[in-house]
Amino acid sequence: MKCEHMEEIPDQGVKAAAVKIGDVTIEFVQPVKPDTGIAKFVETKGDGIHHIAFEVAELEKELAALEAKGVALIDKKPRKGMAGMIAFIHPKATKGVLIELVQKIKK
Protein backbone atom coordinates (compact mmCIF):
# COMPACT_ATOMS: atom_id res chain seq x y z
CA MET A 1 0.00 0.00 0.00
CA LYS A 2 1.18 3.48 -0.79
CA CYS A 3 -0.08 6.78 0.61
CA GLU A 4 -1.77 8.73 -2.19
CA HIS A 5 -2.42 11.92 -0.27
CA MET A 6 -1.88 13.31 3.21
CA GLU A 7 -2.99 16.59 4.72
CA GLU A 8 -3.93 18.28 7.96
CA ILE A 9 -7.53 19.46 8.16
CA PRO A 10 -7.44 22.25 10.78
CA ASP A 11 -11.19 22.79 11.21
CA GLN A 12 -11.62 19.07 12.02
CA GLY A 13 -8.46 18.88 14.14
CA VAL A 14 -7.03 15.90 12.25
CA LYS A 15 -4.25 14.75 10.00
CA ALA A 16 -5.52 12.37 7.32
CA ALA A 17 -3.82 10.01 4.88
CA ALA A 18 -5.50 8.29 1.93
CA VAL A 19 -4.38 4.85 0.75
CA LYS A 20 -5.92 3.39 -2.41
CA ILE A 21 -6.42 -0.35 -2.75
CA GLY A 22 -7.98 -1.18 -6.11
CA ASP A 23 -11.14 0.92 -6.41
CA VAL A 24 -11.35 1.51 -2.65
CA THR A 25 -9.72 4.35 -0.74
CA ILE A 26 -9.05 3.92 2.97
CA GLU A 27 -8.53 7.09 4.96
CA PHE A 28 -6.48 6.95 8.14
CA VAL A 29 -7.24 9.80 10.53
CA GLN A 30 -5.14 10.99 13.48
CA PRO A 31 -6.34 13.64 15.95
CA VAL A 32 -3.99 16.61 16.25
CA LYS A 33 -6.19 18.75 18.54
CA PRO A 34 -7.83 17.75 21.82
CA ASP A 35 -11.58 18.02 22.33
CA THR A 36 -12.49 17.18 18.72
CA GLY A 37 -14.81 14.36 17.68
CA ILE A 38 -11.95 12.13 16.55
CA ALA A 39 -9.84 12.86 19.66
CA LYS A 40 -12.77 12.04 21.95
CA PHE A 41 -13.51 8.85 20.00
CA VAL A 42 -9.91 7.59 20.32
CA GLU A 43 -9.81 8.61 23.99
CA THR A 44 -12.94 6.67 24.89
CA LYS A 45 -12.89 3.76 22.43
CA GLY A 46 -9.27 3.42 21.37
CA ASP A 47 -7.99 2.90 17.86
CA GLY A 48 -10.39 1.41 15.35
CA ILE A 49 -13.01 2.22 12.75
CA HIS A 50 -14.53 5.65 13.33
CA HIS A 51 -16.88 5.87 10.34
CA ILE A 52 -17.69 4.56 6.87
CA ALA A 53 -17.85 6.86 3.83
CA PHE A 54 -19.83 6.53 0.62
CA GLU A 55 -19.21 8.53 -2.53
CA VAL A 56 -22.25 10.31 -3.96
CA ALA A 57 -22.68 12.26 -7.20
CA GLU A 58 -24.68 15.20 -5.84
CA LEU A 59 -24.19 15.72 -2.11
CA GLU A 60 -26.64 18.61 -1.65
CA LYS A 61 -29.43 16.60 -3.31
CA GLU A 62 -28.63 13.54 -1.17
CA LEU A 63 -28.77 15.61 2.02
CA ALA A 64 -32.07 17.21 1.01
CA ALA A 65 -33.58 13.79 0.21
CA LEU A 66 -32.40 12.32 3.53
CA GLU A 67 -33.71 15.31 5.49
CA ALA A 68 -37.08 15.07 3.69
CA LYS A 69 -37.29 11.45 4.88
CA GLY A 70 -36.61 12.52 8.47
CA VAL A 71 -33.07 11.11 8.66
CA ALA A 72 -31.04 12.80 11.41
CA LEU A 73 -28.05 14.65 9.95
CA ILE A 74 -24.97 16.10 11.59
CA ASP A 75 -24.33 18.27 8.52
CA LYS A 76 -27.28 19.75 6.65
CA LYS A 77 -24.90 21.52 4.27
CA PRO A 78 -21.73 20.10 2.66
CA ARG A 79 -18.35 21.17 4.02
CA LYS A 80 -14.78 20.73 2.82
CA GLY A 81 -13.03 17.47 3.57
CA MET A 82 -9.87 15.81 2.30
CA ALA A 83 -11.54 14.00 -0.62
CA GLY A 84 -13.92 16.81 -1.60
CA MET A 85 -17.17 18.02 -0.07
CA ILE A 86 -18.45 15.95 2.85
CA ALA A 87 -21.40 15.62 5.22
CA PHE A 88 -22.21 13.20 8.03
CA ILE A 89 -25.38 11.29 8.84
CA HIS A 90 -26.02 11.10 12.59
CA PRO A 91 -25.30 7.64 14.06
CA LYS A 92 -28.70 7.56 15.77
CA ALA A 93 -30.20 7.29 12.26
CA THR A 94 -27.96 4.35 11.29
CA LYS A 95 -28.01 2.02 14.32
CA GLY A 96 -24.91 3.62 15.83
CA VAL A 97 -22.70 3.76 12.72
CA LEU A 98 -21.35 7.16 11.70
CA ILE A 99 -21.79 7.55 7.92
CA GLU A 100 -19.97 10.13 5.80
CA LEU A 101 -21.16 11.11 2.34
CA VAL A 102 -18.47 12.39 -0.02
CA GLN A 103 -18.74 14.23 -3.30
CA LYS A 104 -15.31 14.21 -4.90
CA ILE A 105 -14.07 17.42 -6.41
CA LYS A 106 -12.70 16.84 -9.88
CA LYS A 107 -9.21 18.16 -10.37
Assess if residue 82 is contained within a domain: yes
Q: How many domains does the chain have?
A: 1
What CATH number has the domain bearing residue 84? 3.10.180.10
Assess if residue 60 is contained within a domain: yes
Note the pTM of the prediction, 2 decimals: 0.81
Our measurement of the distance from residue 15's CA atom to the centroid of its chain's CA atoms, rounded to an integer in Å, reads: 13
Assess if residue 29 is contained within a domain: no
Assess if residue 107 is contained within a domain: yes
CA 104/CA 85 separation, integer angstroms: 6
CA 4/CA 19 separation, integer angstroms: 6
Assess if residue 33 is contained within a domain: no
Q: What is the pLDDT of residues 32-53, one digit of tens each?
A: 999 888 899 899 988 888 899 9
Question: Has residue 91 got a pLDDT over 80?
Answer: yes
Residue 86: give the domain boundaries. 51-107
Assess if residue 43 is contained within a domain: no
Assess if residue 77 is contained within a domain: yes
